[in-house]
């Protein structure tokens, strides 16, 4: 719309006609207080905090509902508005318990801030306050009614934002109250969005309530360790006797790719770190067949000695390595480098949840065709093939819903299941579970394979008329089907794609070469090119065994050693424990998983919240993870790999080139100021240098990744400041014609589960159980 | 929906509802009229009424509850045959509304929201009913009675009791 010019507090401002006054002011740095207004949600105009004086208008106007017009003259802070706001706060405080000293929101409460600003600390009311007991609405949501100021933010975010509609308002006037959908409890998605958005402490979290005060925590912005969406989450941490514990997860600065959103896992499922079964000492299997704690030195020596012996006597091919979907890119990269250069084997794999290699092959050479998670917020049209984002990619589902609400994006859903996003769909087609591939051929114009009807015909026509399209597809698509889909997409005017995989760094695991036939960046092991030079040792050139083949080989007695990092194949692939009895098994994990229980050596590992590095979400958005928590006794996977390499007699500097790239300086350049560690760090940061003084520094490996994997060569500074960078996915060196097994095994995780990790999260377990209770009556009724 | 077999309403009302939901651009706009008609027929908004109305307008029962709890005109408990609503908001209060309400309590022998044992009357204290110019005012079912005094209230109640007999 055309721009209009208007005056606020004497400043001339310009904004498109129709912009809300409150937004226009905020954009110009003029803060207008607001309780009920929340950007992106529908307007409520319930609180009257945002009142301003607009010249020629009879009464004070609410800035949250007034659109700017040409020539408008506004004053935002006058005695009159101050008085009005003060009166509003006085009314709000009329029945407010003022229990700020124990309230979770104390210190970060908008009502406190406003009372402080407008000084409504005296009450003229003599009526007794109405007290109501706190209510537990679900394992994660608690409601403290007297604190509620009835801004309706929670109602709107749950309804409009989440499309759950679990919260409502009952009664009216002074008796109005926020009510859950099941009378005294909630039946909902447990996302906690309502808690985060509550300006006061009326809605509180089952995880965090009454634990601490906000100012007693440090806050670290990092990336969620659960699904493949890679939401930014802020962890509130506090020192304990044995490290640093996480006590809160929330979405503090809203600067991440997830915007306002976090699902239950990003917000609450960090508690696995404090699970009582967490391993903190290395274990070695003793003569009596039992695992017993030993020192790190002993465990590393023992593991390295055995690995070395097996490598030297039977060759690298007798050793297998299984990596993780949740370690950082640097760790993943390091693991395959360790396997290939030190163990001299290509038997490297991981639990694959999407066929990223086929996707890379299909996109090769097509620049700008991979969709970032951000793109789903603004795309005009989205085609969703398979998958159930509400359960498997909650942040994606949020982006899609928001896009529909804000921009009326057109959503097309083709699925074999009743996925919830169909509610937002402009058109939907029911597919038989095995008809995805033929449906794509049908979309591309090849009739015959797919049983068409009027609905599918209209669907096809609508899609082909879109001027631009985002296509997101689930693990229903693998191998050649992906190629066909991408080819079809490329035949349309302007299409981007997203391949949906399951875990926090599933994408990174594939990109970083945890595959038997592909090096980082999908370079074939048969033509290792610059890797051979860079790694400085002869690389095995034959493709190795994939995960299933490794397990088969172990069963036959052909695999003498298996090194498993952050993975639980025993459960995932239902391995018979006896199959591994002749294999020397090293497992690196947080818990004694089913796989670790079979191991000869177990190393207690740190989790993603306890380390620094980068991860790649399933859309190819690269982000920095920052160390938030700590647990004494455990070590990062990075450190364990380096130490193992060292014990195997390798040169750590060869593995982690911490002397290459930008060199740190030891203070020489600063003369008299040298020797002060903190100043040194400040100086380095100011000069965009990083101290790479240790072989445990993941940034030394990031340097190498950026040098050797062109897709990852993205600007580093933006990454370091906590922003996402999208990969240049077209720059892969994959051999697209090669025939490969995809071996995709979807995790089938839902909203409240998260593989092995989820089982160790007390909160997720509690929620799963409470929902089973909720579901029971309905089940009983059904039979 | 298959109203013929499942509805709890009379066939006429069910037919009326079937039509009602088609008359608004958004289905849920039919909610309030539907609740009013249902209340007229059933006497109050029982859980069964709420459940069926929710299905008919395609929203959740908790949403129906949110809406109906906003309006003092809608009730979830049975009322007497004649629901006496005495206004005690400012204008009526200044002109004796409170006294009138106290009088009704004594006369009918019930408190606020009470129902007489014979089920003829129920009593309710309400906010402004928009009859301020003729305060104090009372609304009995859909009829307004204005400029009342305890005496005229008594005869009004007698009239209604007489009607109840018929
Ligand atoms: S936790 Fe999420 S789904 Fe549940 S009531 Fe709150 S906003 Fe709604
Ligand atoms: S609970 Fe919080 S977010 Fe919801 S209406 Fe009350 S104050 Fe607002
Ligand atoms: S949507 Fe995925 S990445 Fe985001 S908070 Fe949930 S589990 Fe974590
Ligand atoms: S912010 Fe404008 S009325 Fe609440
Ligand atoms: S105050 Fe009683 S009708 Fe308005």
* Residue B118: CATH number of its domain: 3.40.30.10
Q: What is the pLDDT of residues B116-162, one digit of tens each?
A: 999 999 999 998 999 999 999 999 988 999 999 999 999 999 999 99
A277: how many CB neighbours lie within 10 A of its CB?
A: 10
pLDDT confidence band for A742 (50 / 70 / 90): confident
Sign of CA dihedral A722, A156, A397, A202: positive
Does residue B122 have its Cβ closer than 6 Å to ligand 5? no
Q: Which of A349, A703, A657 is nearest to A525 (CA)?
A: A349
d(CA A172, CA B46): 20
DSSP A663: P
Q: Which residue of B has its CA nearest to A183?
A: B62
List the single residue in B with minimal CA-CA distance to A181: B62
| Assigned domain for B47 exists | yes
Question: To the nearest whole percent, how much of chain A has pLDDT over 90?
Answer: 79
Residue A572 has pLDDT above 80, yes or no: yes
Asked if residues A220 and A290 have their Cβ atoms less than 8 Å apart, the reply is no
Q: What is the pLDDT of residue A779?
A: 35
Read out DSSP for A43-82? ----S-TTEEEETT-SS-EETTTPBP-TT-EEESS-HHHH
Nearest to A622 by CA among A507, A732, A515: A507
Strands A613-616, A203-205: pairing kind: unpaired
Greater confidence (A474 vs A772) lies with A474
- In the reported structure, the alpha carbon of residue B143 is separated from the centroid of ligand 5 by a whole-number distance in angstroms of 15
| Token output for B96 | 């004796």
Q: Which ligand is nearest to the CA of A110?
A: 2
pLDDT at A690: 58
A347 or A575, greater pLDDT? A347
Task: Say yes or no to pLDDT of A776 above 60.
Answer: no
CA distances from A43 to A40, A49, A109, A228, A728 (A): 9, 14, 21, 33, 39
Q: Do B66 and A169 touch (CB under 8 A)?
A: yes
In whole angstroms, give the CA distance from residue B118 to residue A327.
75
pLDDT band at A175 (very low <50, low <70, confident <90, very high): confident
Q: In terms of pLDDT, which residue wins out, A126 or A378?
A: A378
Residues A564 and A587 sit within 8 Å (Cβ to Cβ): yes
Q: What pLDDT score was predicted for residue A687?
A: 62
Tokens encoding A701: 């490996």
Tell me what pLDDT residue A780 has.
32
Give the pLDDT score at A778. Answer: 36
Of the candidates A743, A780, A634, the residue with the CA atom closest to the CA atom of residue A322: A743
Give the closest residue to B92 by CA, choosing from B126, B140, B141, B143. B126
Centre of ligand 2 from the C-alpha of residue A155, in Å? 8
Q: For residue A134, what pLDDT is reported?
A: 93
Are A182 and B63 in contact (CB < 8 Å)?
A: no
Instruction: Look at residue A772 and tell me whether its pLDDT is greater than 70.
Output: no
pLDDT digits (tens, 9 = 90+) for A197-218: 999 999 999 999 999 999 999 9
Report yes or no: A350 and A323 within 8 Å, Cβ to Cβ: yes
d(CA A321, CA A336): 8
Same domain membership, residue B123 and residue B63: no
Q: How deeply is A132 buried, as exposed, middle or buried, from its count of CB atoms within 10 A (0-12, 13-18, 19+)?
A: middle
Asked whether residue B158 is domain-assigned, the answer is yes
Q: Does the pLDDT value for residue A173 go beyond 50?
A: yes
Residue in this structure with the two tokens 């760094």, named with its chain if needed? A505
* Rounded Cα gap, residues A185 and A167, in angstroms: 10
Q: pLDDT-based confidence at A422, cuts 50/70/90?
A: very high
Domains A3-92 and A357-500 share a fold: no
Cβ–Cβ below 8 Å for A179 and B70: no
Number of domains in chain B: 2
Average pLDDT, chain B: 92
User: pLDDT > 70: what percent of chain B?
Assistant: 96
Cα A745 from Cα A734, distance rounded (Å): 22
Q: Whose CA is closest to atom 5 on ligand 1? A: A166
Domain A357-500 has CATH 3.40.228.10: yes
Report yes or no: A246 and A628 within 8 Å, Cβ to Cβ: yes
For the CA of A225, the nearest atom of ligand 3: 8
| B96 lies in the same domain as B62 | no
Q: B47: exposed, middle or buried (C-beta count within 10 Å: 0-12, 13-18, 19+)? A: exposed
CA–CA distance, A542 with A537 (Å, rounded to integer): 15
Residues whose beta carbon lies within 6 Å of some atom of ligand 1? A 141, 157-158, 162, 164, 166-167, 186, 188-194
Place of tokens 């014609």: A737
How far is the C-alpha of A320 from the C-alpha of A349, rounded, in Å?
8
- Smallest Cβ–Cβ distance between A171 and the set B60, B63, B70 belongs to B70
Is B120 part of a structural domain of the chain?
Answer: yes
Residue B162 belongs to what H/E stretch? helix B150-165
Q: Do the chains contact at B69 and A170, CB–CB below 8 Å?
A: yes
- Are B128 and B87 found together in one domain? yes
- C-alpha A230/C-alpha A506 separation (Å) is 11
Q: Identify whether B136 is preceded by a cis peptide bond (ω within 30 of 0).
A: yes
Which residues on chain B are in Cβ contact (under 8 Å) with A184? Answer: none
CA of A230 to the centre of ligand 3 (A): 6
- Where does A548-671 show beta strands of DSSP type E? 561-565, 584-589, 601-604, 613-616, 621-625, 630-631
Q: What pLDDT does A662 receive?
A: 47
Which pLDDT score, from 0 to 100, does residue A689 have?
60
- Rounded to an integer, what distance in angstroms lies between the CA atom of residue A776 and that of residue B156? 54
Any domain includes B135: yes
> What are the residues whose beta carbons fall under 8 Å from the beta carbon of B59, sequence distance 6 or more?
B28, B31
Residues B59, B105, single domain; the answer is: no
A110-205: CATH topology is Alpha-Beta Plaits (3.30.70)
Cβ contact A172–B62 (<8 Å):
no
The predicted model gives A94-105 an average pLDDT of 91
Whether residue A661 is predicted with pLDDT greater than 60 in this model: the reply is no
Helices (H), A120-219: 153-156, 193-197
Based on the fold, state whether residues B91 and B159 are members of the same structural domain. yes
Q: What is the number of other CB atoms lying within 10 angstroms of the CB of residue A379?
A: 23
Q: Which of A168-172, A315-319, A516-520 has the lowest mean pLDDT?
A: A168-172
- Assess whether B64 and B95 both reside in one domain: no
Q: Which of A32, A54, A62 to mutate to test the pocket of ligand 4 (most atoms within 8 A of CB)?
A: A62
Residue-wise pLDDT tens digits, A460-495: 999 999 999 999 999 999 999 999 999 999 999 999
Q: Is B152 exposed, middle or buried (0-12, 13-18, 19+ CB in 10 A)?
A: middle
What's residue B1's pLDDT?
45
Q: Are A179 and B66 in contact (CB under 8 A)?
A: yes
What angle is formed at CA A48 by the lines to CA A46 and CA A50, rounded to 5 degrees? 120
Q: Which atom of ligand 3 is nearest to the CA of A233?
A: 5
Please report the ipTM that was assigned to this predicted complex: 0.74
Same domain, B30 and B56: yes
**Residue-wise pLDDT tens digits, A664-722:** 444 444 444 444 444 555 666 666 665 566 788 888 899 899 999 999 999 888 888 88
Structural domain spans, chain A:
3-92, 110-205, 357-500
**Shared domain check, B86 and B60:** no
Domain membership flag for residue B40: yes
- Calculate Rg over the CA atoms of chain B: 18
On the question of a cis peptide bond just before residue A293, with omega within 30 degrees of 0, the verdict is: no
Same domain, B86 and B160: yes
Tell me if B5 is assigned to some domain.
Answer: no
Query: Which pLDDT tens digit goes with each residue over B38-54?
Result: 999 998 999 999 999 99
Residues of A whose CB is below 8 A from B63? 165, 168
**A187, closest residue in chain B (CA to CA):** B62
Query: What's the confidence (pLDDT) of residue A685?
Result: 65
Range of the domain at B44: 11-68
Q: Tell me, what's the pLDDT at A277?
A: 95
Across A278-292, A353-367, A667-681, least confident range: A667-681
Mean predicted lDDT score pLDDT of chain A: 91
Give A703's DSSP letter: H
Residues 6 or more apart from A512 whose CB is under 8 A from it?
A329, A332, A333, A336, A520, A705, A709
Distance CA(A290)–CA(B61), nearest Å, equals 57
pLDDT (0 to 100) of residue A619: 97
Query: A392: burial class by Cβ within 10 Å (0-12, 13-18, 19+)?
Result: buried
Mean pLDDT calculated for residue range A346-354: 96
Mapped onto helix, strand or coil, the DSSP state of residue A250 is strand
Shortest Cα distance, chain A CAs vs residue B18, angstroms: 24
Q: Is A163 in the pocket of ligand 3 (CB under 6 A)?
A: no
Q: Which of A50, A66, A199 to mutate to test the pocket of ligand 4 (most atoms within 8 A of CB)?
A: A50
Q: Does A500 contact ligand 3 (Cβ within 6 A)? A: no
Query: Which residues of chain B neighbour A169 with C-beta distances below 8 Å?
Result: 66, 70
Q: Which residue, among A583, A667, A687, A52, has the nearest Cα to A319 in the 3D structure?
A: A583
**For residues A179 and B70, is the Cβ–Cβ distance under 8 A?**
no
Topology classification of domain A3-92: Ubiquitin-like (UB roll) (3.10.20)
CA of A208 to the centre of ligand 4 (A): 29
* Residues A248-252, mean pLDDT to the nearest whole number: 91
**B43 plus B110 within the same structural domain:** no
Question: Higher pLDDT residue, A669 or A741?
Answer: A741
A122 three-state secondary structure: coil
Q: How confident is the model at residue B4 (pLDDT cuts 50, 70, 90)?
A: very low
Question: Tens of pLDDT along A481-490?
Answer: 999 999 999 9
Burial of A782 (0-12, 13-18, 19+ CB in 10 A): exposed
The secondary structure of A747-780 as a DSSP string is: ----TT-BHHHHHT-HHHHHHHHHHHHHHHHHHH
All residues of chain B having their beta carbon less than 8 Å from the beta carbon of residue A165 are: 60, 63
Is residue B107 a contact partner of residue B115, using CB atoms and an 8 Å limit? Answer: no
pLDDT of B152 reads: 96
Ligand closest to CA B93: 5
Counted across chains A and B, CB pairs separated by less than 8 A come out at 25
| Best mutation site among A165, A184, A187, A190 for ligand 1 pocket (most ligand atoms within 8 Å of CB) | A190
Average the pLDDT over B65-85 and give the result.
Answer: 91
Distance CA A580, CA A535 (A): 31
Residue A204 bridge partners (DSSP): A142
């Amino acid at each position: 719309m055309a721009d209009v010019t208007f005056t606020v507090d004497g400043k001339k401002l310009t904004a498109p006609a129709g912009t809300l006054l409150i937004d226009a002011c905020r954009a110009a740095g003029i803060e207008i207080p607001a309780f009920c207004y929340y950007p992106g949600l529908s307007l409520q105009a319930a609180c009257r905090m945002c009142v301003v004086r607009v010249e020629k208008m009879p009464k004070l106007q609410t800035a949250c509902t007034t659109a700017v017009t040409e020539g408008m003259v506004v004053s935002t802070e006058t005695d009159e508005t101050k008085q009005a706001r003060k009166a509003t706060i006085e009314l709000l405080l009329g029945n407010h318990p003022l229990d700020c000293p124990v309230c979770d929101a104390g210190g970060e409460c908008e009502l406190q801030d406003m009372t402080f600003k407008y000084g409504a600390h005296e009450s003229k009311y003599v009526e007794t306050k109405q007290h109501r007991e706190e209510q537990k609405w679900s394992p994660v949501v608690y409601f403290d009614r007297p604190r509620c100021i009835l801004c309706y933010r929670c109602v709107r975010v749950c309804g409009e934002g989440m499309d759950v509609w679990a919260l409502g308002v009952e009664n009216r006037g002074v008796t109005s109250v926020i009510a859950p959908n099941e009378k005294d409890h909630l039946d909902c998605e447990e996302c906690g969005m309502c808690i985060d958005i509550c300006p006061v402490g009326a809605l509180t979290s089952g995880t965090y309530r009454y634990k601490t005060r906000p100012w007693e925590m440090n806050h670290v912005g990092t990336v969620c360790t659960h699904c493949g969406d890679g939401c930014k989450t802020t962890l509130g941490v506090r020192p304990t006797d044995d490290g640093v514990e996480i006590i809160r997860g929330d979405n503090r600065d809203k600067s991440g790719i997830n915007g306002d959103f976090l699902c239950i896992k990003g917000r609450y499922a960090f508690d696995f770190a404090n699970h009582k079964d967490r391993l903190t000492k290395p274990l070695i299997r003793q003569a009596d067949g039992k695992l017993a704690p030993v020192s790190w030195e002993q465990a590393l020596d023992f593991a390295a000695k055995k690995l070395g012996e097996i490598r030297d006597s039977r060759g690298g091919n007798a050793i297998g390595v299984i990596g993780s979907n949740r370690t950082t890119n640097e760790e993943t990269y390091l693991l395959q480098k360790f396997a290939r250069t030190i163990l001299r084997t290509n038997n490297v794999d991981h639990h694959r949840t999407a066929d990223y290699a086929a996707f890379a092959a299909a996109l090769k050479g097509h620049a700008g065709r991979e969709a970032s998670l951000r793109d789903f917020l603004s795309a005009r049209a989205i085609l969703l093939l398979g998958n159930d984002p509400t359960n498997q990619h909650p942040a994606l589902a949020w982006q899609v819903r928001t896009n529909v609400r804000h921009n009326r994006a057109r959503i097309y859903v083709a699925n074999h299941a009743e996925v919830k996003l169909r509610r937002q769909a402009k058109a939907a087609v029911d597919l038989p579970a095995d008809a995805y591939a033929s449906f794509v051929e049908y979309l591309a114009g090849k009739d015959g394979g797919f049983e068409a009807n009027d609905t599918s015909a209209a669907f096809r026509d609508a899609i082909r008329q879109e001027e631009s399209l985002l296509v997101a597809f689930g693990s229903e698509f693998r191998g050649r089907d992906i190629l066909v889909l991408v080819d079809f997409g490329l035949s349309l005017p302007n299409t981007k794609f997203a391949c949906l995989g399951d875990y926090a760094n599933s994408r990174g695991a594939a990109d970083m070469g945890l595959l038997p036939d592909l090096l980082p960046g999908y370079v074939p092991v048969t033509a290792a090119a610059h890797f051979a030079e860079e790694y400085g040792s002869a690389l095995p050139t034959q493709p190795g065994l994939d995960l299933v083949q490794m397990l088969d080989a172990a069963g036959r007695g052909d695999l003498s050693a298996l090194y498993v990092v952050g993975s639980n194949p025993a459960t995932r692939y239902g391995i018979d424990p006896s199959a591994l009895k002749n294999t020397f098994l090293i497992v690196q994990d947080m818990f004694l998983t089913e796989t670790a229980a079979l191991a000869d050596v177990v190393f207690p590992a740190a989790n993603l919240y306890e380390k620094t590095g980068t991860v790649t979400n399933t859309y190819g958005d690269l982000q920095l993870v920052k160390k938030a928590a700590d647990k004494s006794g455990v070590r990062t996977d990075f450190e364990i790999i380096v130490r193992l390499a060292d014990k195997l007699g390798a040169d750590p500097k060869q593995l982690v080139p911490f002397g290459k790239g930008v060199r740190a300086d030891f203070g020489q350049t600063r003369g008299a100021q040298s020797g002060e560690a903190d100043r040194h760090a400040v100086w380095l940061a100011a000069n965009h240098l990083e101290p790479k003084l240790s072989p445990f520094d993941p940034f030394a490996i990031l340097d190498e990744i950026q040098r050797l994997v062109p897709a990852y060569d993205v600007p580093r500074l933006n990454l370091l400041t906590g922003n996402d960078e999208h990969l240049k996915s077209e720059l892969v060196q994959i051999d697209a014609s090669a025939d490969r097994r995809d071996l995709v095994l979807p995790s089938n995780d839902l909203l409240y589960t998260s593989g092995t990790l989820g089982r160790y999260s007390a909160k997720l377990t509690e929620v799963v159980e409470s929902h089973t209770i909720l579901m029971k009556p309905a089940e009983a009724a059904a039979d | 929906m298959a109203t013929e077999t499942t509805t709890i309403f009379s066939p006429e009302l069910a037919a009326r509802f079937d039509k009602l939901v088609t008359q608004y651009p958004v289905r849920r706009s039919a909610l309030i009229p539907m609740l009013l008609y249902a209340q007229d027929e059933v006497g109050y908004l029982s859980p069964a009424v709420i459940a069926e109305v929710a299905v008919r307008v395609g929203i959740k029962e908790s949403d129906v509850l949110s809406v109906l709890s906003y309006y003092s005109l809608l009730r979830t408990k049975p009322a007497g045959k004649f629901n006496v609503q005495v206004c005690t908001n400012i204008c009526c209060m200044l002109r004796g509304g409170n006294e009138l309400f106290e009088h009704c309590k004594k006369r009918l022998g019930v408190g606020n929201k009470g129902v007489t044992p014979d089920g003829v009357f129920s009593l309710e204290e309400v906010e402004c009913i928009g009859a301020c110019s003729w305060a104090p005012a009372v609304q009995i079912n859909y009829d307004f009675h204005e400029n009342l005094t305890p005496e005229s209230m008594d005869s009004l109640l007698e009239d209604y009791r007489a009607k109840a007999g018929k």
